[in-house]
């Protein structure tokens, strides 16, 4: 059993990779954005937007890990407070935690993906390119062990990710 944390800016391909890796393991994918968008849809507000969504996902992850399922967290994980939730959870449950940091090594491609997703408007809250750049300024560099996957360069990263998580 493993707690896999997929991290990276919006539009880099975290959710796509998480779904593909989950099908291989198998694992439950818990996406912070899904919870955050749902809370907004039901007009649940909070003083620190996004924090409640991380808390809900952490609670759901604990349930899944406790019953023996692999879990993939799909979230930006921009800084220490969000990242510490997963560290604390893994330590408390004594399960290994693996970080997969997803990037797009080409800024023009990243922007194209973000703008295409924004134009499609799959759900409220999808950030535009300006918001992604704001998030990039807030994004703290990851320290410590992790697998960095560049979705612009990697032909098929699923196999190496599954191997890293196993």
Residue-level length of the chain: 166
**Residues 22-56: tens digit of each pLDDT:** 999 999 999 998 998 888 889 888 776 678 899 99
Residues linked to residue 3 through DSSP beta bridges, in sequence order = 71, 97
* Distance separating alpha carbons of residues 108 and 8, to the nearest angstrom: 17
> What pLDDT does residue 118 have?
82
* Domain 3-165 architecture: 3-Layer(aba) Sandwich (3.40)
Task: Output the pTM of the full model.
Answer: 0.93
Consecutive 10-residue runs of the chain (166 residues): their mean pLDDT? 97 96 98 90 79 94 98 95 95 98 96 88 74 92 94 94 96
């Amino acid at each position: 059993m493993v707690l896999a944390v997929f991290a990276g800016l919006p539009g880099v391909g975290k959710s796509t990779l998480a779904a593909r890796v989950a099908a291989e393991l198998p694992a439950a994918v818990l996406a912070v954005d899904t919870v955050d968008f749902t809370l907004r849809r039901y007009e649940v507000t909070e003083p620190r937007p996004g924090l409640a969504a991380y808390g809900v996902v952490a609670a759901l992850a604990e349930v899944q890990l406790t019953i023996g399922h692999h879990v993939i967290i799909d979230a930006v994980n921009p800084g220490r407070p969000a990242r510490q939730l997963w560290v604390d959870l893994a330590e408390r449950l004594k399960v290994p935690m693996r970080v997969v940091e997803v990037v797009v090594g080409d800024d023009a491609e990243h922007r194209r993906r973000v703008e295409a997703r924004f134009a499609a408007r799959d759900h409220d809250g999808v950030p535009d390119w300006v918001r992604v750049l704001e998030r990039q300024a807030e994004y703290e560099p990851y320290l410590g062990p992790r697998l960095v996957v560049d979705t612009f360069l990697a032909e098929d990263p699923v196999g190496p990710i599954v191997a890293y998580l196993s």
